[in-house]
Structure 1
């Protein structure tokens, strides 16, 4: 099948969109969420304010695009760490690799980390369209819990995640695509529960480190994160 080649107009539009997003990221990096000003972006590109809306229909649409890009970027970083090597890797070691890859990305990209782990802007509500990016980032963690045997303490969460997989075909399809699990809703629920707990552990620990909340406390961020991951692995008998 012949691949359609974008027209010059389409290529120009995509290039301009990329430039707008890059300038927005620069503003976020230098001034935080309060520093994002579409009028300044338009001026830097030699555009009028209304002209900018031909590329992004609103400020929220621009922020959603930045959120999706950030999710896909961290998914790429995590996916590289989770690529199956020639020699088998135990699930616990695999989980550590994924977690540390996430932390390394967040430390390199603190302003983009804030986009996906906090409120991007005070009055912004992320649209459901960004969920594909989030699932791309979470997907590699599902595989670490395929053989897990959860402790009784996490049984209520496993039950809720199993019910979620049972009523949501898109969730089942996602888990199957990431793990190969089919029809076994309990196994899906276990993998989902482990992944949600891993993600919340990463969110809390890494967000505090990125915000410099651990300064002067005498421990390294990767040491604390590894301790949390060990506890999580114990809870699922990995």
Structure 2
């Protein structure tokens, strides 16, 4: 085991930053990310506002850290599942389990954007790691799907695939998976199915069946 070379001051700083993030998550669960207040967190921790700003210089810096942690956690989870042999269906359930484990974490990155906040480029790269796994899993599906006009559009607009050489039909598969899975999850976690009387887990399974088994999405032959 590698020795911890951090100084006591560095360890204390890491500990305080982690505590600040925990308070931030609690505040987000209560009031939402757009109302996140460093001064309120400082008060909870018995610190002055200026003292807390030595750890996070701004609200956006703290939000960036939370978003980066969330995307990193998701990417690591999806990559680990894929490395264990998960196919696209299993990856969908991995994503759902991750989302249900901490809905506020999921909604921070896939819910309503925080007004006035702009994520740095490195977060886009981390989120792209998850899409790369989904693209590979989509490419591994058997059978072919007839090309559509949108596929032709994707041939000219594929920068989001980060150089993945998959044909446009595979890009379309991955996008269909991504949008429909997140659509169901976002509605469920935001409470929009409450009172409708059906089991969201059953809807999620039905959507996967439709995506993976039924034309015109793609067919097995």
The one of 121, 127, 133 equivalent to 1:134 is: 127
- 1: CA distance, partners of 2:34 / 2:144: 43
* 2:148 partner SS: helix
TM-score (norm. length: structure 1): 0.76
**Count of equivalent residues:** 215
Residue 11 of structure 1 is matched in structure 2 by 11
The equivalent of 1:237 in structure 2 is: 219
Distance 1:150 1:9, change over 3 A: farther
- CA-based RMSD of the aligned residues comes to 2.8
Change (3 A) 1:193 1:52: farther
1:69 maps to what in 2? 69
Contact 1:96-1:226 at 8 Å conserved across structures: no
Separation of aligned partners in 1, 2:172 and 2:8? 47
Extract unaligned runs of 5+ from structure 2.
none
Kindly indicate whether structure 1 or structure 2 has the higher relative contact order, using CA contacts under 8 Å at least 6 residues apart.
1
Q: Judge conservation of contact 2:138–2:174 (CA < 8 Å) in 1.
A: yes
Structure 1, unmatched stretches of 5+, are: 176-184
Kept after mapping to 2: 8 A contact 1:100/1:222: no
1:124-152, Cα deviation, whole Å (9 max, x unpaired)? 33333311231233232122112455533
Compare the two structures and name the one with the higher helix fraction. 1
Q: Which residue of 2 aligns with 1:151?
A: 145
Residue-by-residue CA offset, 1:24-50 (whole Å, 9 max, x unaligned): 001112332355221121223333212
> Residues 7, 190 of structure 1: CA spacing in aligned structure 2 closer, same or farther, 3 A cutoff?
farther
CA 1:50–1:158 in structure 2 vs 1: closer, same or farther (change >3 Å)?
Answer: farther
The answer to whether the Cα contact below 8 Å between 1:163 and 1:189 also exists between their aligned partners in 2 is no
Seen in structure 2, the aligned counterparts of structure 1 residues 230 and 57 have a Cα distance that, compared at 3 Å, is same
Which moved further from structure 2: 120-129 or 221-230? 120-129
